[in-house]
Amino acid sequence: MKTKKQTFLLALTFLFLFGCQTSGGNDFLRGVDADQRKDYKEAVRLYRLSAEQGNADAQYNLGLMYSKGQGVPQDYKEAVKWYRLSAEQGDAEAQYNLALKYDNGQGVPQDYKEAVKWYRLSAKQGDVEAQYNLGLMYSKGQGVPQDDKEAVKWFRLSAEQGDVSAQINLASMYFEGQGVTQDYKEAVKWYRLAAEQGNAKAQHNLGVMYSKGQGVTQDYKEAVRLYRLSAKQGYAQGQYNLGLRYYDGLAVPQDYKEAVKWYRLSAKQGFAKAQYNLGLSYFIGQGVPQDYKEAVKWWKLAAEQGLEVAQYNIGGMYYNGQGVPQDYVSAHMWFNICSPSKDEECMDNRNIVEKEMTPQQIEKAQEMARNWKPKK
């Protein structure tokens, strides 16, 4: 959400030189000056004077002040009021911001159809953010019938203007073949453009494509370079994949300690696969001293998110009393939770545990399994 500043300022200055400036325009310019000086109360006063005379840019900026709570108490309803007045005069940024309010239900009841209406008006004027958000609405089927082809159309228009999120989404559509014919080379093209802008997710995804040789010649060194760029920005999947490369020694010297370092950074962000691998490192004693309690800690975090291999291992730790006190009820519960996927080992182990349990214990374990829900 940008305050109208330089472009409009230059245009009005030109008019002023030829004696054509309105008093509303004067107030708007003085409001911009006050805004730039961070005298927000004065900016609001001057924007209001201009807005009440119908100046669309002043109406937009006044809406922005109410939305941000600058110079006035934050008030989304007032923001909507002024955005609407500006939007109805055709101001693209006001149309976009009004759409956002309907999209998020701020100052108005949430209404995806109304959001789509204003996104479309703004997008047709070339607003890059409106084009992206309109693509999202089509992708999700919010306010419009779900339509991947329309989503691709609007993502492309936004991506061609350099919007990183649109570039990533367009790449993903090409990768999955949604709304377009699957094309890994096109996916690489758009991921690369986003990655070159420093986007961590794009760097990671491009790294995956180099690792698998999808749309590019397989190149593990380039994959590692991209994973590292992503990981250093704190992207959990980038950290996890960089850890994997150190674990298996692909394109880098094998280094279990370095693998653990990156698994840990990813695991602390809640990435389940990294939590599992960190637990495995503690269980085996690779890159860290063997520590069953730590293994249980990380496997349990992964298991609680629904990762079945972690659920299976936690069941085994409870059954064997490794890192935790022996607990057949908990073991049965975890084996039971991972059983619905038809994993024979889970079912077999559950049946083995049952032989050590009383009917009351089995009933309790089954109740615990029924009540269990994965953590998000």
Owning domain of residue 239 = 198-290
Name the domain boundary from 56, 89, 122. Answer: 89
Q: What is the pLDDT of residues 297-324, one digit of tens each?
A: 999 999 999 999 999 999 999 999 999 9
Mean pLDDT, residues 273-293 taken together: 98
Residue 295 included in any domain: no
Q: What is the pLDDT of residues 199-258, one digit of tens each?
A: 999 999 999 999 999 999 999 999 999 999 999 999 999 999 999 999 999 999 999 999
Model confidence at 59, in pLDDT bands (50, 70, 90)?
very high
CA 80 to CA 229: how far, in whole Å? 40
Domain count, the chain: 4
Q: What is the pLDDT of residues 79-128, one digit of tens each?
A: 999 999 999 999 999 999 999 999 999 999 999 999 999 999 999 999 99
What mean pLDDT is reported for the chain?
93
Shared domain for 177 and 127, answered yes or no, is yes
Q: What is the CATH number for 249?
A: 1.25.40.10
pLDDT recorded at residue 342: 57
Residue 313 included in any domain: yes
pLDDT recorded at residue 113: 98
Residue 123: C-alpha distances to residues 82, 99, 100, 131 (Å)? 20, 11, 13, 5
CA 172 to CA 165: how far, in whole Å? 11
Residue 273 included in any domain: yes
* CA-based nearest residue to 317, from 289, 296, 338: 296
CA 158 to CA 143: how far, in whole Å? 20
pTM (2 d.p.): 0.89
Shared domain for 39 and 113, answered yes or no, is no
Shared domain for 132 and 182, answered yes or no, is yes
Model confidence at 278, in pLDDT bands (50, 70, 90)?
very high
